[in-house]
Structure 1
Amino acid sequence: MKTFNLKGTKRTETGKKSTKQLRKEDRVPCVLYGGDEVVHFSIDATVLRHIVYTPSVFLLKVEVDGAAYDAVLQDLQFHPVSDKVLHVDFYRVFEDKPLTMSIPAVITGNSDGVKAGGKLQVNMRKLKVRGLAAHMPDALKIDITTVGLGQSVKVGSLHFENLTVLDPANAVVCGVRLTRAARGAAQTSDAKK
């Protein structure tokens, strides 16, 4: 998993007035939880662009007034009109405790069904997995080379080393559908026979 360093400033006040003042200064209020203590801090809004507006998943090294924590991005709140980040929740990561994350699914290979004229339909771009932070990959690679026309890849058929997939086993990750043009060509060839 990729790592990213964040430096924050501890917040002494946590009310509405101080939060509005932080946002005027182009800072984002944040909270770090998951350990013995809850840490309220703020970070520069421009730094968040590198971790928020990307499909990648990061292990974050959060430094707040000299204290360092390992964390992952847990939750974001956006302004409904301007789409600015209003608040960020970070979840503290420990080496010996498993955590639950949504990891991007990357489809690899050229499907036999696509070669035969089908169309690849991707239903799930991320999969929810549970495991230790050291075993979390940047992306979950799913090979579709053997998927034929009308076939699909379901969550239950996927296995990743040291990870447990938490999505329902019957959920379809991707499939190869027969296009209308290919279906029409198949019907006309059957009619000619």
Structure 2
Amino acid sequence: MANKEHKLVAASRKDEGKGASRRLRRSGHVPAIVYGGHKDPLSIQVEHNHLWIASQNEWFYSAILDLEVDGKVQKVLLRDMQRHPFKQQILHMDFLRVSENEALRASVPLHFVNQGISPAGKSAGVVVTHELNEVEVTCLPKDLPEFIEVDLAGLKVGDIMHLSEIKLPKGVTIPALAHGKEHDLAIVIAKHARVEAEEAAAPESAEVPAAKVSKDAGDAAPKKK
């Protein structure tokens, strides 16, 4: 899916430091910084409630945002967000400027569809696990998808789907695949629940303490007369 327009409004700020940041938060704003794009870093502030509502959407973490600062719009990606450990409060944000002519890397969510109608999904006692929920891609900003659909309609019991099997939008690649087959990670696995239970129990049953082995070996040895 191609990216839609998502807008955030901010204002530049000159006061920096912990004291200034605390004052901003008390006034209902979030301190943030914009960097990259061959320009100097810019300190900004964003209204917290507006930012909090936006942060509840999946696109906020992967889509290119139209950040309006003092009336001027620039394209950015969210790169870091600090939250309060227990309050519903955003403490700080980092935004990266993007250039329309330069490829970028971003993590994009995976949306798994048609699992329920697949042979694996309709089979009793089958567990379908999603090994990855997002994937890092590289592309030009105009080609960055907000999410990538993974069609599971043909998934059968025993199947393992890998990164290389994802149908990517035009202009989008997965850089990890360029580093060899060992980086072609599994993204979906379909297997019987019994098999999964046996595999989960196998490591525990296979490990026998060395002390026990030694003791058992001693008990089995013939006694000297």
Question: Which of the five TM-score ranges fits, normalised by the shorter chain?
Answer: 0.7 to 0.9
Contact 2:52–2:90 under 8 Å retained in 1: no
Q: Which runs of 4+ in 1 moved over 4 A?
A: none
Alpha-carbon distance change, 50 to 77 in structure 1, aligned in 2, over 3 angstroms: same
State how far apart, in whole Å, the 1-side matches of 2:159 and 2:141 are.
33
Aligned equivalents of 1:78, 1:67: Cα separation in 2: 27
TM-score (norm 1): 0.86
Tell me which structure has the larger Cα radius of gyration.
2
AA aligned to 1:116 is S
Deviation per residue, 1:10-69 (Å, 9 max, x gap): 110111111110010010001111121211100101111233222223321111112221
TM-score by length of 2: 0.74
* Structure 2 residues not aligned, in runs of 5+: 178-182, 198-225
Aligned CA RMSD, in angstroms, stands at 1.9
Equivalent residues in 2 for 1:35-184 (5 A)? Answer: 35=37, 36-56=39-59, 57-109=62-114, 110-117=117-124, 118-160=126-168, 161-167=170-176, 169-180=183-194
What's the offset of the Cα at 1:83? 4.3
Gaps of 5+ in 1: 184-193
CA distance in 1, matches of 2:70, 2:139: 30
Deviates more, 1:75-84 or 1:98-107: 75-84
Q: CA deviation at 1:145?
A: 1.9
Deviations 1:102-137 (A, max 9, x none): 111011223222223322211211111111111112
* Alignment size in residue pairs: 182
Greater helix proportion: 2
